[in-house]
Each structure stands twice: as C-alpha cells, then as structure tokens.
C-alpha cells in the first residue's frame, strides 16, 4: 500500500470518527431537551405534594450550574519539528524527542444536567480550558565565550512555551452510587481559541557563559502554532474525561450545592496534525475545583415554615435530652460521693518565695541561639545503622532546609540535626572536604571491630552523598581500632560506638548561629493544691492547663495519673518552649476525675492572668530593647576547649555595655547531680570572659528551690552525657 492510499484511508477513518462524535452530541442534546420537558412537568406536579425528609438530599430534577477549576497539564512530546515551522539549517531542529513538559492553567464553564435514572445523570457542559505548558528539548553543546573573555564548551537546550486554550462541549454521564457522590465519565470536543508559542535556546552551563550575542538566550521566536487540527477540522481535538465530586448543600432546601471536584482528562489525538512518522504531542491534565449547582425542583417543593417548625422540635428534643443527661449525671455524682477541689494557683519564685494571686508576665526579645557542635555521630550497640534519634530528611527537602528552624530546640536536640548541618555546609562550601573516622567498642561488640567501624563511617558517608549530593571525592572514610581494655566500662563502650567528623575547613564545624526569639517569665512556676474524694475509689485523674489563641484552645501542659495523686503540683512554665504562653489573656486550669465505677467529677475551672509583650509590638513602637544571645559551649570527647576557642565564639557578642551570666549543666540523674563540677566549669569560663574586661555573673547549678532541677539532658546516651558537661552563657546587650 502506497503512502497516498494510506493517507486517504486515514482521512476516511478520522472523518467517520468525527461524524460519530457529532451524531452522539446531537442525540445527547435532543435527549436533554426531552428530559427537560418531562422533568419540568414532573416537578410542577411534585411541588403540590409533600415529600420525605430525605428528598432534600436526593439528586432530582433538571439542574444548572457553573464551575471553576485549576489545571495541572502534562505534555508528552516526541517530534523533531512542527509542521509549518521552516527548518533553514540543521541547527533549527527542535528535537523534542521523548520529552515531557508541564504547565498550569484554569478552567471555567457552565452546565445543565438531567436524570436518566435515580442513580444516573447526563451532564452537558460548555467550558473554556487552558492547556498551557513548557517543553524542554534534549541538551546540546556549542562553543561559546565567557564574560571574562575566555572560551569554553557550553550546554544549552530549547524551551518551547505554549499558550494553548480551547472552548468545547462535554457530554458526561454521572453515576451516583451514594447520595451526593458523583462519578463522571465522558468525552469533550474542543476547538483551540489560543495557540501561540514562544521558542528560545537557553544556556544551561557554564554559569558564566554567554552566546555570541552576549546573552544567555538566543534564537528567540514566537507566533501561532501551525497545523492545529484533527478529524480534518481546523483547531479541533477531543478528550476522554473522568472525575469525581461530592455535593454539599449550602441552604436548608438543598436547592444550591457546592461540589468539590477532581477530573482527569486525556486528549485522544496529537495537538498538531501531520507530525513526522511516530511523532506525538498529547496533553493529559488533572483539574480540580468547585461547581455551584442549582436545583429548581428542590426549591419549588421546599416548605420553609415546616422546616423551621421541624428545627424547633428537634432543638427542644435535644434540650430535653441534655437536661435529662445532666440531671442523671448530677444524681450519680451525688450518689458516688466524687468531690474534686483545685486550689487557686500561687506563684513560686526561683528562691522559693510565694506570690499570691500571681500574674504571669512574658516578654520576648530578639535573640541569637548559638550552639557549639559536637563532631560525633553515636551509634547503637552492635549496629551500623544511623540511629532514629538523628534527624534525616528526604533529598527533595534539602533546598528549603534552614538552620533557623532549629532555634527553638534544646542544645542536645540541635545535635541530632548534625548530619544535615554538615551536609548543608558542605553543599555551600564546595571546596571543603570531610574525613569520617569510624570506631567500634572492640571485640565485645563484634568479631571484626575494624570492619564494623568502617561500616559506621560509610553509613554517614552514604547519607551525605544520597541526601545532600556531596561527591564521594570530597569524603574520606577511615576506621580506627581500639584495644578492649580502653572500652571496659559501659559508658566508655557507648562513647566508642561513633563516627568522628573532621575537616581542614574550620567553618564546617563552627558553632551554629540561629535567629531566635528569647522569652523571659517573671513567675517561673505555679503551684496548685489538689484534693480528690472518690468514695468508690479513684481510677484516673487529668489536669490540663490551656490558653485561648484566637478562636482555638492551645494546651500548654497536661498532667495525669491513676489511683494516687499529689497533694500539690508545681508547674514550671519554662521547662519547655511549648508550655510558655504566646498571647495575653488567661491560663485556664481544669481537673477531671473518674472513679472505678466510671463516674466523672471535675473542679471549677481556674484562671490565671497572663500579659505578653511581643517582640513585634516593641519593633513597631520603636522602643529601646535588649538583645539576648544564648551560647551553649560543650567539650568534645578527648578534648579541652582552649581560651582562644572560647574567646573566638564569645568576643564578637560582648561589648562594654553587655551583661553576662554563666551557668553550668550538672551531670548525673535523679537527685545525684554533680553540681560542684558544673559550678567549677562555669567559674572557669567566667575567668576567661574577665579577660575582655567584663565580670560575668556565675549562676549556681544548685537549685534554690526544691521544685527546680539543674540544667540536664538525657544521661543514658553519649550525647546527653556530653551536653551535661556544657556551659550556658547568656549575654544581654541594650539596643536602640
């Protein structure tokens, strides 16, 4: 069969398909008009008779609507050029082979629906749809110049930006498996009303290269896309359409509904006719939006007065039920003898003094949180897998990763982001390299300690390569063997289950500086007296402190227990950032109790006033303020911080007008804290600060009140033990 006869047969086939689609549309319109006449008559008859309550939510009668949607378009292209765009030389070939492009747009239109059966409707729609997108060619190379006058090989590609829009008609069938749910399927015939393009060649690499024109783009051209036709008709195409939606009535009669919808559409033919053999250019799209639908039949039969009476009857019934329930609960409570008392809160200061009827004052200050990093990644026993406590991200998240998001974390928790901190810094400092040295706890952990140590180092290396895309050439992996007697104790063995990170670039492991907001609380704790009398026996109790922020309640603290309870509870407001009030107002405290017979009781809700001075308010009023820097200094394994290292961190932050205080973390757990060692480290640091002409106040780590605890992190893990030997420096400097 020759080429001309094949082309003729194709024209006959496409002409037949077009005629079939046109006939189907004409038949659908005729059926729609007939249904409209029948259902209008039926609606008039039904409006004279009452209907069941459920009828308000049944899809019935002819209905009309409008719709609006956002489009995500995917272009699948495989062609070397478009018919109608002349090729003057070989380089003009577009080269969109096996490429995909994407774009966004919107859709809008109107529709009319009619029921075929109670579970099936026919839907005729007229819509305007944007099919915009951008296609990218394969990469090509060219000899070009740099801005400094040298030459290099450049990599470029062609970008084909399409502004394509159509108007068309859709015939959809809507299946209703359950009330309000619509499942759509059908076809759309469309005609292009916008079909312009913009084509240019864009230089990808090197970053400082330019074309002969001195720009990073060339051969710009635009115009109308030629040969947009299908089925032998100019500007025509067709789509297969499927979707789903769910209607929500927006008035008592359910005459008006809003329907969130999502559709998938796929063009049947290529956008452009007469492409090269095997060439395609098709568009499929995901469209999501909302439809507004009006049911005349529902409105005509809706009885507003009867509906109002029905509402009042239902409300009265609900009130009676609630009243009966309250009376029953009150009777049961009296029978059970559940009595709950919660004493009015009093303020407890750090020196142990009491403040009656306290007001909690919170003030925000501009701050920098500065945390010295430990160059260690610790592993679990007999494991070369990164522990879950080390925070990992997906490769797609690295672009938006920000250190400032860590500002609200405790110093030890910042350490668990070490892999991402090092990864981001390596990404930013392209000349820096890193050495990873793995350790194991000797033969007590594995038969091959050296190999196990290397596996741990490789686990860190794999993360930096896979997530942060650091080339392997910039990472050196080593292992270090140790003798068994070195790691004789359990803590020593845990310390050796690690990977050390080192670099010639000191900036890679320099202290992390984060923008933060520092909060002070004038009343650090609230004390509550609790008295519970559950005659049948106490099953559980729950105490909650919360505050309204806007229209929502935010829980600041929750305490709970079972068969026993404390006679008094002291809540330290600054024990965690989430427990500090954010807005002025009241802290509401409630106490709920359940006895062994599942009878409930509660105490009256107590309110404690709160005033918050926000940083934003001080900035807007341009008032004088104080800048607060919080510095956490910690000593790595086997090292001591030198005076020069300390001054390198602190000197830029301290001026002659600064007020400095120093406090040491206390090692230990439970009540056995090494407060003497903590105070000694704080005093030693104060001595170094004195060389700057500043006298630092040393805060004792011995609690001034029995309810307070020294600064302390989890001592059961190596990271916790190291940060329990940290020193916290607070630097306050007046600002204008």
List the domain boundaries for the chain: 3-47+56-300, 305-336, 339-349+351-361+517-619, 373-510, 624-735
Q: What is the pLDDT of residue 501?
A: 96
Q: Let me know if 442 is exposed, middle or buried by CB neighbors in 10 A (0-12, 13-18, 19+).
A: buried
Of 344-358, 391-405, 440-454, minimum mean pLDDT range: 440-454
Please say if the pLDDT value at position 318 is more than 80. yes
Q: What is the pLDDT of residue 283?
A: 94
Tokens of 55: 């009828």
Strand order of the sheet with strand 434-439? 376-378, 498-502, 434-439, 475-480
Encode pLDDT of 178-191 as tens digits. Answer: 989 999 999 999 99
Asked whether 25 and 124 are in contact (CB, 8 A), the reply is: no
On the question of pLDDT at 416 being above 80, the answer is yes
Alpha-carbon distance 8 to 433, whole Å? 67
Question: Which class is 339-349+351-361+517-619 in CATH?
Answer: mainly beta
Give the tokens for residue 539. Answer: 């099953």
Position with higher pLDDT, 185 vs 492: 185
Instruction: Please give the pLDDT value at position 177.
Output: 92
pLDDT above 70 coverage of the chain, percent:
86
| The three-state (H, E, C) secondary structure of 178-209, written as one string | CCCEEEEEEEEEEEEEEEEEEEEEEEEECCCE
Task: Give the residue among 73, 108, 17 at the shortest CA–CA distance from 265.
Answer: 73
Cα–Cα–Cα angle for 500, 505, 510, nearest 5°? 70
699: Cα within 13 Å, side-chain hemisphere: 18
pLDDT exceeding 90 applies to what percent of the chain?
Answer: 46
Identical topology for domains 339-349+351-361+517-619 and 624-735: no
What pLDDT does residue 92 have? Answer: 55
pLDDT band at 334 (very low <50, low <70, confident <90, very high): low
**Which among 210, 219, 6 has a CA at the least distance from the CA of 95?**
219
Q: Is pLDDT at 14 greater than 80 in this prediction? A: no
* Average pLDDT score, the chain: 84
Q: Two tokens at 210?
A: 């330019």
Listed residue (456, 415, 438) closest to 719, CA to CA: 415
Among 3.30.300.10, 2.40.440.10, 3.40.50.11540, 3.30.1330.60, what is the CATH number of 624-735?
3.30.1330.60
Q: pLDDT tens, 664-708?
A: 888 876 567 878 888 899 999 999 999 999 999 998 888 777 667
373-510 CATH: 3.30.1330.60
Looking only at the bridges linking them, the beta strands covering 151-175 and 140-146 are antiparallel
Query: Cβ contacts of residue 210 below 8 Å, gap of 6+?
Result: 144, 145, 146, 147, 203, 216
Please tell me the number of Cα atoms within 13 Å of 208 on its side-chain side.
7
- Please give the pLDDT value at position 147: 58
399 DSSP assignment: G
Kindly state the average pLDDT of the residues 624-650: 89
Contact 189, 231 (CB under 8 A): no
């Amino acid at each position: 069969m020759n080429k001309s006869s094949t082309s003729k047969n194709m024209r006959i086939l496409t002409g037949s398909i077009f005629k079939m689609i046109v006939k189907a549309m004409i038949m659908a319109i005729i059926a729609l008009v007939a249904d409209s006449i029948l259902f209008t008559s039926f609606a008039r008859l039904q409006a004279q008779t009452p209907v069941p309550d459920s009828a308000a939510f049944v899809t019935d009668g002819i209905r009309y609507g409008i719709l609006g949607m956002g489009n995500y378009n995917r272009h699948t292209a495989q062609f070397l050029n478009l018919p109608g765009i002349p090729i003057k030389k070989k380089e003009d070939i577009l080269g969109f082979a096996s490429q995909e492009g994407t774009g966004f747009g919107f859709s809008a239109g109107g529709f009319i629906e009619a029921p075929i059966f109670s579970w099936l409707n026919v839907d005729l729609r007229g819509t305007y749809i944007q099919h915009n997108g951008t296609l990218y060619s394969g990469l090509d190379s060219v000899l070009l110049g740099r801005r400094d006058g040298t030459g290099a090989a450049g990599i470029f590609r062609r970008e084909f930006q399409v502004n394509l829009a159509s108007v068309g008609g859709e015939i959809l069938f809507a299946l209703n498996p359950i009330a309000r749910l619509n499942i759509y399927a059908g076809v759309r015939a469309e005609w292009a009303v916008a079909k312009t393009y913009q084509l240019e060649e864009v230089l990808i690499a090197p970053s400082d290269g330019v074309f002969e024109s001195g720009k990073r783009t060339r051969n710009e051209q635009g115009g109308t896309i030629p040969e947009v036709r299908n089925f032998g008709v100019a500007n025509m195409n067709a789509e297969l359409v499927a979707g789903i939606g769910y209607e929500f009535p927006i008035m008592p009669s359910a005459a008006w509904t809003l329907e969130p919808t999502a559709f998938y559409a796929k063009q049947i033919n290529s956008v452009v006719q007469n492409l090269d053999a095997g060439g395609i250019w098709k568009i499929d799209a995901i469209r999501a939006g909302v439809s507004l639908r009006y049911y005349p039949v529902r409105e005509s039969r809706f009885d507003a007065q009867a509906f109002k009476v029905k509402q009042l009857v239902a409300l009265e019934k609900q009130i009676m039920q609630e009243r009966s329930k309250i009376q029953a609960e009150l009777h049961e409570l009296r029978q059970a003898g559940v009595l709950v008392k919660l004493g009015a809160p009093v303020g407890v200061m750090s020196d142990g003094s009491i403040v009656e009827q306290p007001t909690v004052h919170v003030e925000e200050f501009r701050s920098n949180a500065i945390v010295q990093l430990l160059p260690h990644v610790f592993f679990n026993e007999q494991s070369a897998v990164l522990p879950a406590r080390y925070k990992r991200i997906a490769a797609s998240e690295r672009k938006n990763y920000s250190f400032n998001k860590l500002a609200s974390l405790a110093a030890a928790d910042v350490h668990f982001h070490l892999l991402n901190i090092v990864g981001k810094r390596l990404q930013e400092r392209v000349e820096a390299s890193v050495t990873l040295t793995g350790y194991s706890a000797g033969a007590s952990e594995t038969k091959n300690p050296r190999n196990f140590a290397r596996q741990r180092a490789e686990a860190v290396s794999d993360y930096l390569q896979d997530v942060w895309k650091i080339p392997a050439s910039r990472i050196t992996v080593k292992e270090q063997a140790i003798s068994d007697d070195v790691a004789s104790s359990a803590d020593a063995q845990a310390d050796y289950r690690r990977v050390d990170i080192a670099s010639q670039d000191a900036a890679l492991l320099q202290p992390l500086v984060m923008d933060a907001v520092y909060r002070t609380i004038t009343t650090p704790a609230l004390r509550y007296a609790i008295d519970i009398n559950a005659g049948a026996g106490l099953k559980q109790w729950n105490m909650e402190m919360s505050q309204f922020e806007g229209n929502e309640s935010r829980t600041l603290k929750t305490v709970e227990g079972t068969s026993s309870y404390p006679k008094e509870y002291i809540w330290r407001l600054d024990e965690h950032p989430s427990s500090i009030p954010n807005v002025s107002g009241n802290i509401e405290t409630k106490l709920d109790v359940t006895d062994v017979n599942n009878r409930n009781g509660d105490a009256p809700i107590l309110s404690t006033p709160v005033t918050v001075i926000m940083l934003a308010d001080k900035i807007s009023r341009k008032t004088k303020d104080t800048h607060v820097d919080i510095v956490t200094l910690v000593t790595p394994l086997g090292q001591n911080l030198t005076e020069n290292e300390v001054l390198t961190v602190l000197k830029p932050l301290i001026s002659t007008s600064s007020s400095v205080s120093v406090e040491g973390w206390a090692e230990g757990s439970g009540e056995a804290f090494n407060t003497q060692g903590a105070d000694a480290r704080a005093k030693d640091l104060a001595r170094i600060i004195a060389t700057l002409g500043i006298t630092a106040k040393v805060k004792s780590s011995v609690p001034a009140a029995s309810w307070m605890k020294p600064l302390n992190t989890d001592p059961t893990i190596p990271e916790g033990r190291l940060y329990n030997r940290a020193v916290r420096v607070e630097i306050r400097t007046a600002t204008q």
